[in-house]
Structure 1
Amino acid sequence: MSDISFSDLTFISREELAEQFRNSPSASQAPDNLAIIDVRDSDHVGGHIKGSTWVPSSELDFKTPELVRSLKDKEVVVFHCALSQQRGPSAALRYLREKRRLDPESTTVTKEGKGGKEKKEQRVVVLKGGFTQWQEKYGLDETLTEGWQKDIWEFGS
């Protein structure tokens, strides 16, 4: 059994995530050091966070090792589903456990700094409130959200 549990997860607010975009050199895309993984299934319709990668939760069993390898240089990895109550946190846990399984010694990513290489721990977080809360505030903001469809969300908000 893994020693990583739900209580080990940290959450990021929609405002904190939006601020990451605004502080990016190109405010119209996610910062290079950040990855957003959307694990919604058929409820993915109606929009998504700009620059996010869609990995349906039904595919996580076989895609998680690939994610760990491809995101190894990211400083922050954000997982979310519709509400981030079950699928998002479960995906983040699966990612953390697989990361530890593949490389038990390494929990850091390396980035070039002014004084050479500096090591930073990769933060794996869950978007609080998921895409449902995100779209309530940022659905119309095309610098943060792509493909948002008002008619899908207007009665659910």
Structure 2
Amino acid sequence: MSSYTVANLPRISREKLAEYIRSKKPGVSVIDVRDSDYIGGHIVGCQNVPVNTHDFRMPELVRTLADEDAVVFHCSLSQQRGPSSALKYLRERERMGLVKDGTGEEQKVYVLDGGFSMWQEVYGEDAELTEAYVKDLWD
């Protein structure tokens, strides 16, 4: 049985993630799990992997991101889809034998605190951090 739960998933602040993106820190991937609500903007360089594709895409995602230092999941608010996606990712890594002793120490997996909703409040109009932003959709 997995040791991972939604309650023990670490969060990353929008400020810390913005710092990583601005510095072009290698080894950090952002996974946006929003579905149709992906329109209106997204974090620069993120991958959109909608929740409804996770059943067949999660093993591929785990293999693709295996060498990353950190993976950050988020949805609109990071209350349900983001955390559950991060949990599914961690459990898939565990199932594939990529996690030692269930600790996940070799790769950090985070949930973006407040999701894209809080992100866009500060960084929505910052073209260095946010792409395809449509302010009217967020007002």
The answer on whether the counterparts of 2:93 and 2:99 sit within 8 Å (CA) in structure 1 is: no
**Residue correspondence of structure 1 range 141-152 to structure 2 within 5 A:** 141-152=126-137
For structure 1, the 5+ residue unaligned runs are 25-30, 110-119
Superposed CA offset, 1:90-122 (max 9, x none): 00000000000001554799xxxxxxxxxx721
Superposed CA offset, 1:121-145 (max 9, x none): 2100000000000001000000000
TM-score normalised by structure 2 residue count: 0.93
2:125 counterpart residue number: 140
Identity of paired residues, percent?
A: 54
Counterparts of 1:108 and 1:89, CA distance in 2: 17
For structure 2, the 5+ residue unaligned runs are none
Runs of 4+ in structure 1 over 2 Å off: 104-109
TM-score normalised by structure 1 residue count: 0.83
Secondary structure, counterpart of 1:124 in structure 2:
strand
* Aligned with 1:63 (options 51, 57, 61): 57
Secondary structure, counterpart of 1:74 in structure 2:
coil
Counterparts of 1:2 and 1:55, CA distance in 2: 23
Superposed CA offset, 1:57-103 (max 9, x none): 01111110000000000001000000000000000000000000001
- Ranked by relative contact order (alpha carbons within 8 Å, sequence separation 6 or more), the top structure is 2
1:12 counterpart residue number: 12
Higher strand share: 1
Secondary structure, counterpart of 1:143 in structure 2:
coil
**Residue correspondence of structure 1 range 55-134 to structure 2 within 5 A:** 55-103=49-97, 106=100, 121-134=106-119
Bigger Cα Rg: 1
Counterparts of 2:50 and 2:21, CA distance in 1: 23
Quickly say closer, same or farther: Cα 1:9–1:105, change in 2 above 3 A.
closer
Alignment length (residue pairs)? 138
